[in-house]
Amino acid sequence: MRILLVEDDTMIGESLREALRAQGLAADWVRDGRAADAALASERFDAVLLDLGLPQRSGLDVLRALRARGNATPVIVVTARDALADKVAGLDAGADDYLLKPFELDELLARLRAVVRRQAGRATSALVVADLRLDAATREVSRGGRPVLLSAREFALLEALMERPGAILSRAQLEDRLYGWGEELESNAISVYVHQLRKKLGDDVLHTLRGVGYYVGPAKER
Ligand code: CA
């Protein structure tokens, strides 16, 4: 999952970005409304965590402009403003959810999963492809009922592929999902994770199309 974090408070921004990355999420952080506009206009995110009180341009203006462009990326407004009028304005401007500071990280993560799940039209947090099962809420993976332990990155890569079984994701698309801006990335990182996943899951569920990308599900005829 790739998250855009819009937050002008350095302490909150830094700690939140690190916390999200520790969960295996790709988290990019911008500190003002114009930078948020630019990031949202040029990149695709799975969800946005949006502060309202921002330099340059308010979070509410960023949100209105995003929706006016027809961009339906899930947005959770995260702010200390607890006035009812601010909540209503945020939701009416197109926010999908609302979280008041200070908040618990677990609640933020659960709300993130919920908005992304709703966006994808899924009723539960579990992804199932044949006998392979991944639960984003409990972070458990199993194959044929047997639990499989994955690292945060392996989990994130498998999740990205299992969201759309059979769809081929290129190495660049997977890198976008797994890494935020400025994160160190070895050029062969994705193939290393794919190799590790095959060792743990068996070699018949995660497939490579040479020069194209990766997918999960039944092997495609070539
Ligand atoms: Ca702020």
Q: Does domain 2-120 have CATH number 3.40.50.150?
A: no
Whole-prediction pTM value?
A: 0.85
Spacing, Cα 53 to ligand 1 middle (Å)? 4
Instruction: Name the average pLDDT for the chain.
Output: 92
Domain boundaries, the chain: 2-120, 126-216
Spacing, Cα 73 to ligand 1 middle (Å)? 21
Angle between helices 33-42 and 59-68 (to 10 degrees): 20
> Which pLDDT band holds residue 137 (cuts at 50, 70, 90)?
confident
Give residue 78's Cα distance to chain centre: 16
At residue 222, the pLDDT reads: 60
Spacing, Cα 71 to ligand 1 middle (Å)? 23
Spacing, Cα 164 to ligand 1 middle (Å)? 36
Which amino acid belongs to residue 118?
R
pLDDT tens digits, residue range 46-93?
999 999 999 999 999 999 999 999 999 999 999 887 778 888 888 999
Angle at 153 between CA 35 and CA 196, to 5 degrees: 150
Element (H, E) at 177: helix 171-178
Spacing, Cα 34 to ligand 1 middle (Å)? 14
pLDDT tens digits, residue range 146-204?
999 999 999 999 999 999 999 999 999 999 888 888 787 888 999 999 999 999 999 89
Spacing, Cα 113 to ligand 1 middle (Å)? 23
Spacing, Cα 59 to ligand 1 middle (Å)? 9
Spacing, Cα 182 to ligand 1 middle (Å)? 23
Spacing, Cα 119 to ligand 1 middle (Å)? 26
If phi > 0 it is left, if psi is from -120 to 50 it is alpha, else beta; for residue 132 that is beta
Spacing, Cα 201 to ligand 1 middle (Å)? 44
Calculate the dihedral angle through the C-alpha atoms of 14, 16, 19, 21, rounding to the nearest 10 degrees. -80
Spacing, Cα 79 to ligand 1 middle (Å)? 7
At residue 81, the pLDDT reads: 74
Which amino acid belongs to residue 62?
V
Spacing, Cα 54 to ligand 1 middle (Å)? 5
Spacing, Cα 55 to ligand 1 middle (Å)? 8
Spacing, Cα 85 to ligand 1 middle (Å)? 17
In angstroms, the Cα distances linking 45 to 31, 32, 74, 131, 212 are: 16, 17, 9, 29, 22
The CATH number assigned to the domain with range 126-216 reads: 1.10.10.10
DSSP 220: P
